[in-house]
Chain A
Amino acid sequence: MKREDKKTTIEKNIEGSTRRDFLKKTGSLSVAGLAGVATLMTGTKDAQARVTWAEWFQTNYRLMTEEEKREAIERLEKRYSEEYGKKVTVDGRPAQKNVLFGYALNIQKCIGCRRCVKACVKENNQSRHDPEIEWIRVIRMEKGKFSAEDMDKGYPSDYGIQVGGNAYKNAGVVLEGQHYYQPERVPEKDAFYFPIQCMQCEKPPCVKVCPVRTTYREPDGIVVIDYNWCIGCRMCMGACPYWARRFNWGEPNLPKEEMNPDTHYLGNRPRMKGVVEKCTFCLQRTRKGRYTACVEVCPVGARKFGNLLDPESEVRRILERKRVFRLRVDLNTFPKFFYFID
């Protein structure tokens, strides 16, 4: 999210509410207790308020009975259809048997065009601005170089004994990455690209720290979030070592025309303010046997996706035949997102 954008909104917000407004509304604020805050936070139009209340009282998705799930989904479909002025479906499809999703990304092929980022935003109904949310970030890595001039430079320089020299700018220095690059054209000569997103860890630290089990691992290996259960404490954002999680700092801005009506309860349904979200391997698609949006759009075929339990699947073949690595293995998170080179 761009900081400047946010700042201007803050100023706007404060100026925008006149004093009269404020007095009128605080009147009700002081009588309403904690529960009143819920209505206050979500708007008070009558029909909508009823839906809101029912939503407010519902339990964690994983604990709902089939009946309750159906009701919750119907409620959402009704609310979304009204809000976005089109027929919105909310799928509740559970994980399929004998499926464990895995991802493999060929960093040799990635050209840093960020089509995956854009496709993901479109597919998954992220907030477009204030806050601007993107689940995939592509990091542009400096290639770095060794040069003869640096042979004798370094720290400390006295006594002719030095520890630095070329060691400070060797090839592929990891921390010199940058994910706000604005190239004329890609790929650039001095760079390679390193996309990151939620790694769907098998032992996810984000799940462990969540105080209310909003975020949990599904049987098909996807770490999901029940947006209606999240209390917005952001413990998970502190714990995720891959910077995969995003927060709805304000009410998401999702234009009606751009809204993707084909949603899943645990996936791309529109979120509300104050909750966390992240990549779900497009479970609204992949649980129906489709590819993720990013796999489909990648122009160079760098992205591969499939069932890790199926020995014939593309990911499994890649894991068997290519040179593969994962990020930050020292943390024992066992990501199901693999990087490979040919």
Chain B
Amino acid sequence: MKRFTSFVVSFLCYALRGGAKYYAWLSFLGFFILIMLFTTYQQLTKGLIVTNLTDQVTWGVYLSNFVFLVGVAAAAVTVVFPSYVYHHKKLKEIVVLGELLAIAAVTMCIIFVLYHMGRPDRLWHIIPGIGIFNWPNSMLTWDVLVLNGYLLLNLFCAFYYLYKKYNGQEVNKAVYMPVVYVSIVWALSIHTVTAFLLNTMPARPMWFHSMMPIRFISTAFASGPALIIIAFLIIRNNTELKISDEAIDLLSQIVVWCLGIALFLAMSEIVTELYPSTEHSYSLKYLMFGKHGLSKLVPWFWTSIILMITAFVMLLVPRIRKDQRFLLPLACAITFIGIWIEKGMGLVLPGFIPSPIGEFTEYSPSWVEIFNSLGAWAVGLFMFTIMVKGAVGILLGEVKYSEGA
């Protein structure tokens, strides 16, 4: 017990100490969190009327961000898998950082779901035992299961590992490895189930096809590692932690191939929908070209396509991919933004346009929605920063257990 308290205390002490740059970053995030408190209060007291959602477009930025972040969470597996299945030494040293990202991403998912709900105060209704859990009927209950399970798995993997390291011990392989393998499969399940959440609704033809899960996974495994690469580069530049070029290069190859597959799948969908051009293609047509003079999403769609193609072409060139100073992070940022747009403006929103009776309604988020979303991201990044800072201390051996402490 004493060891554990000292772990928590020294972890936090280390994590909360830093240079001016570090505090500037945390205050920057804190600023958005403060604004979020205000807009959250607005939403809790007035209801979702402070959003721009309508009965036609009933899911908006909150759900879009949720879907995207599930992908980011799942993408931790791109670090875990090569480490433990291919025994990639260089990645294995820093695998815990990937797991910490997953923890932060799932936390953001939970915040976004709470924002999405009309009655967050009744959340207990879904807790098995005291409420009703409509499982296995409702796809949302599956999502609740896999996401919470994933959170627990990653909390265990990351902090058990860090704790052992802190004590200068080896992990108990008999316990640790099975959990790691479970978490690898589990990571796939979270994004698959989230795809099923959308594509099991024939009322929304744009989503109603069996390619959704694989599209989700391919985009996730491009955007996730892209974010991880950026995070790794920042960590490498600002701490003593050695992150090898080789580890980053492996991740960048995962990004480029998954991005390629994602583009291929997008192309297949476009051809399949537009060639016969049935009523089912109306969402996609609206997204690509606009319809009845409504075209709010059109620029987003083309921006996202251009960004994704640019990033793909950039990353195909070994010279660019290996330029870890500037061009690689640039390509990663482009990938990340491109896919973020694709998941929200390119997928969740047009699913509702037109409505099942054929009505075209446009939607763009209100200020409350925007600031709540920024705030949720800030909370996640804040958590991630603190956790990574502490973890780096342990990995470097600067934070470790000593009897006297």
Known: A41-B121, A249-B47. A209 touches B55 (CB 8 A): no
Q: List residues 179-195 of chain B with CB under 8 A from any CB of chain A.
A: none
**Min CB–CB distance B359 → chain A (angstroms):** 7
Is A17 engaged at the interface, CB distance under 8 Å to the other chain?
A: yes
A238 in complex: contacting residue of B53, B54, B59, CB < 8 Å: B59
Q: List residues 263-306 of chain A with CB under 8 A from any CB of chain B.
A: 273-276
Is A175 engaged at the interface, CB distance under 8 Å to the other chain?
A: yes
Are A22 and B357 closer than 8 Å at their CB atoms? no
A234 in complex: contacting residue of B58, B120, B200, CB < 8 Å: B58
A228 to B282 Cα, complex, angstroms: 37
A17 to B140 Cα, complex, angstroms: 35
Q: List residues 121-156 of chain A with CB under 8 A from any CB of chain B.
A: 130-131, 137, 139
Are B119 and A1 closer than 8 Å at their CB atoms? no
A336 to B202 Cα, complex, angstroms: 19
**Min CB–CB distance A36 → chain B (angstroms):** 9
Residues of B within 8 A of A247 (CB): 48, 55, 58, 118
Are A238 and B201 closer than 8 Å at their CB atoms? yes
Most buried by A among B41, B49, B116: B49
Is A99 engaged at the interface, CB distance under 8 Å to the other chain?
A: no
Are A40 and B59 closer than 8 Å at their CB atoms? no
Are B121 and A212 closer than 8 Å at their CB atoms? no
Are A10 and B366 closer than 8 Å at their CB atoms? yes
Residues of B within 8 A of A196 (CB): 357
Chain A interface residue bracket vs B: 35 or more
A205 to B356 Cα, complex, angstroms: 13
Residue ID in chain A nearest B120 by CB atoms: A37
B140 in complex: contacting residue of A38, A230, A235, CB < 8 Å: A235
A60 to B122 Cα, complex, angstroms: 12
Are B134 and A213 closer than 8 Å at their CB atoms? yes
Stretch at the interface among B24-32, B125-133, B216-224, B230-238: B125-133
Is B203 engaged at the interface, CB distance under 8 Å to the other chain?
A: yes
Please, how many residues of chain B have a CB less than 8 angstroms from a CB on the other chain? 58
Is A182 engaged at the interface, CB distance under 8 Å to the other chain?
A: no
Is B144 engaged at the interface, CB distance under 8 Å to the other chain?
A: yes
Known: A10-B366, A13-B42, A179-B359. A232 touches B117 (CB 8 A): yes
Residues of B within 8 A of A212 (CB): 125-126, 131-134
B203 in complex: contacting residue of A22, A35, A60, A240, CB < 8 Å: A240
Are B133 and A274 closer than 8 Å at their CB atoms? no
Known: A34-B123, A41-B121, A212-B132. A233 touches B140 (CB 8 A): yes
Is A225 engaged at the interface, CB distance under 8 Å to the other chain?
A: no
Residues of A within 8 A of B37 (CB): 26
Is A25 engaged at the interface, CB distance under 8 Å to the other chain?
A: yes
Are A331 and B140 closer than 8 Å at their CB atoms? no
Are B48 and A231 closer than 8 Å at their CB atoms? no
Are B201 and A231 closer than 8 Å at their CB atoms? no
Are A233 and B118 closer than 8 Å at their CB atoms? yes
Residues of B within 8 A of A6 (CB): 49, 52, 54
A208 to B140 Cα, complex, angstroms: 10
Are A210 and B138 closer than 8 Å at their CB atoms? yes
Are A177 and B47 closer than 8 Å at their CB atoms? no
A1 in complex: contacting residue of B55, B121, B204, B367, CB < 8 Å: B55
Are A273 and B47 closer than 8 Å at their CB atoms? yes
Residue ID in chain B nearest A208 by CB atoms: B137
Known: A196-B357, A238-B58. A231 touches B118 (CB 8 A): yes
1/0 per position for A229-247, CB-CB distance to B under 8 A?
1111111011111110111
Are A231 and B126 closer than 8 Å at their CB atoms? yes
Are B125 and A229 closer than 8 Å at their CB atoms? yes
Are A130 and B49 closer than 8 Å at their CB atoms? yes
**Min CB–CB distance A203 → chain B (angstroms):** 12
A235 to B66 Cα, complex, angstroms: 14
A39 to B138 Cα, complex, angstroms: 29
Residue ID in chain A nearest B352 by CB atoms: A238
Residue ID in chain A nearest B138 by CB atoms: A211
1/0 per position for B8-51, CB-CB distance to A under 8 A?
00000000000000000000000000000110011011111111
A137 to B355 Cα, complex, angstroms: 13
**Min CB–CB distance B18 → chain A (angstroms):** 26
B47 in complex: contacting residue of A14, A229, A233, A250, CB < 8 Å: A250
Is A251 engaged at the interface, CB distance under 8 Å to the other chain?
A: yes
**Min CB–CB distance A289 → chain B (angstroms):** 32
Residue ID in chain A nearest B202 by CB atoms: A331
Is A321 engaged at the interface, CB distance under 8 Å to the other chain?
A: no
**Min CB–CB distance B193 → chain A (angstroms):** 13
Are B203 and A205 closer than 8 Å at their CB atoms? yes
Is B358 engaged at the interface, CB distance under 8 Å to the other chain?
A: yes
Known: A211-B133, A232-B118, A234-B58. A41 touches B44 (CB 8 A): yes
A-B contact pairs, 29 of them (CB 8 A): A6-B52, A10-B52, A14-B42, A14-B367, A22-B38, A29-B41, A34-B121, A35-B121, A37-B44, A56-B121, A205-B202, A205-B203, A209-B140, A209-B200, A211-B141, A211-B144, A229-B122, A230-B122, A231-B117, A231-B122, A231-B125, A233-B117, A235-B138, A235-B139, A242-B357, A247-B58, A249-B53, A275-B118, A275-B119
The residues of A with any CB-CB pair to B shorter than 8 Å are 1, 3, 6-7, 9-10, 13-14, 17, 22, 25-26, 29, 34-35, 37-38, 40-41, 56, 60, 63, 130-131, 137, 139, 174-175, 177, 179, 196, 205, 208-214, 229-235, 237-243, 245-251, 273-276, 331
Apart from A233-B140, A243-B357, 17 more pairs, CB < 8 Å:
A7-B52, A10-B52, A13-B42, A13-B46, A14-B368, A25-B45, A37-B44, A37-B121, A38-B121, A38-B122, A230-B122, A231-B122, A233-B116, A235-B140, A249-B47, A250-B48, A274-B48
